[in-house]
Structure 1
Amino acid sequence: MATDATGLEVMYRGTVYPWHCDQMGHMNVMWYVGKFDEATWQLFASFGITPGYLRTSGRGMVAVDQRISYRRELLAGDIVVVRSAVLEVREKVIRFCHRMENAATGELAAVTVLTGVHFDVERRRSCPLPDEQLRAAQALVTDFDPGI
């Protein structure tokens, strides 16, 4: 994975298409969330929370908190990159962030901090992460300050 001066790894690359834009002419907030979500699944896979693991174990991940700060608009045709970091890992909880940048200018477009909870899909209750995934996620924890 590629990193920048912040040490954050690239988890998503994409393009802003015209249909992502709203009546204001810039990418609508729903697409920021969608692109951040794609980065989330790449980040989770990096420490073993893969679709295969979720399907075979009867486990899931749910977002319980998400904060987004929009810094600069993105327009149709802009290329975006999302860099991600794990901020905190507890027995059942992972807090992480994503930085969306305009790949051509390097300008920060948006930043989000999310809290996800590992849970049992049958019981619909939180449950501990398996030791292997817990240790792998803990190894990725950084002191990066997302600024929100």
Structure 2
Amino acid sequence: MPCDHVGLDEPPTREVLVDGLDVTYRGTVYPWHCDHMGHMNVMWYVGKFDEATWNLMSHIGITPAYLRSDHRGMVAVDQQISYRRELVAGDVVLVRSAILEVRDKVMRFRHQMENAATGEVAAVTVLTGVHLDTRTRRSCPLPAEHLARAKSLLTRAAS
């Protein structure tokens, strides 16, 4: 008896986080991203979400230049992922991101990965990141301008 693909009998999932929010990642699923079951392996979902994270951080001013010059970093302290639909070799994916919560040293944000051709949501992740002094390895406050920019992007998107 052949195996059914997970989730293929379900209706397409279409979620929108925030109208007009910039896409923070766009890429392609390559054959080497796929596991023995023929769909993109979980390690690549995490990798693509990570790329989206750095684009989101850069958008609020937490750029590689800032991180290097000010001896700062961002570290993930929590990540939850919900896999909704399969992605296979050749699929073009995009990630939309939203900031859910901002405090002096902490930011919580959500990424939504979509199949660019169908609009179906493939996965959603919510991450909590902490701003870090890389010399002391301790958390430290975000600069006022980065904090203000992040707060200006806050959304009411469900976590």
TM-score, normalised on structure 2?
0.88
* Consecutive unaligned residues in structure 2, runs of 5 or more: 1-15
Query: Residue 17 of structure 2 contacts residue 98 of structure 2 at CA under 8 Å; is this kept in 1?
Result: no
Q: What is the one-letter code of the residue matched to 2:126? A: V
Q: How many residues are treated as equivalent by the alignment?
A: 143
Any runs of at least 4 consecutive aligned residues in structure 1 with deviations exceeding 6 A, and if so which?
none
What is aligned with 1:16? 29
1:54-89 deviation digits (Å, cap 9, x = unpaired):
000001000000000000000000000100000000
Q: What is the one-letter code of the residue matched to 1:65? A: D
Query: Among residues 32, 40, 46, which one is paired with 2:59 in the alignment?
Result: 46
* Consecutive unaligned residues in structure 1, runs of 5 or more: none
Question: Is the aligned partner of 1:6 residue 2:18?
Answer: yes
Query: Residue 9 of structure 1 contacts residue 85 of structure 1 at CA under 8 Å; is this kept in 2?
Result: no
Deviation at 1:145, TM superposition (A): 1.0
Query: Residue 89 of structure 1 contacts residue 134 of structure 1 at CA under 8 Å; is this kept in 2?
Result: yes
Cα separation, 2, equivalents of 1:6 and 1:26: 28
Q: Which moved more, 1:5-14 or 1:91-100?
A: 5-14
**Secondary structure in 1 aligned to 2:155?**
coil
**Secondary structure in 2 aligned to 1:80?**
strand
Query: Among residues 11, 26, 39, which one is paired with 2:39 in the alignment?
Result: 26
Query: Among residues 113, 127, 136, which one is paired with 2:126 in the alignment?
Result: 113
What is aligned with 1:65? 78
The share of aligned pairs that are identical, in percent, is 71
Query: Among residues 134, 141, 149, which one is paired with 1:128 in the alignment?
Result: 141
Considering only CA atoms, is the larger Rg found in Structure 1 or Structure 2? 2
Aligned positions of 1:54-93 closer than 5 A:
54-93=67-106
Query: Residue 106 of structure 2 contacts residue 130 of structure 2 at CA under 8 Å; is this kept in 1?
Result: yes
Deviation at 1:5, TM superposition (A): 7.2
Deviation at 1:9, TM superposition (A): 2.5
Alpha-carbon RMSD across the aligned residues, in angstroms, is 1.0
**Secondary structure in 2 aligned to 1:40?**
helix
Q: What is the one-letter code of the residue matched to 1:6? A: V
Query: Residue 79 of structure 1 contacts residue 103 of structure 1 at CA under 8 Å; is this kept in 2?
Result: yes
**Secondary structure in 1 aligned to 2:46?**
helix
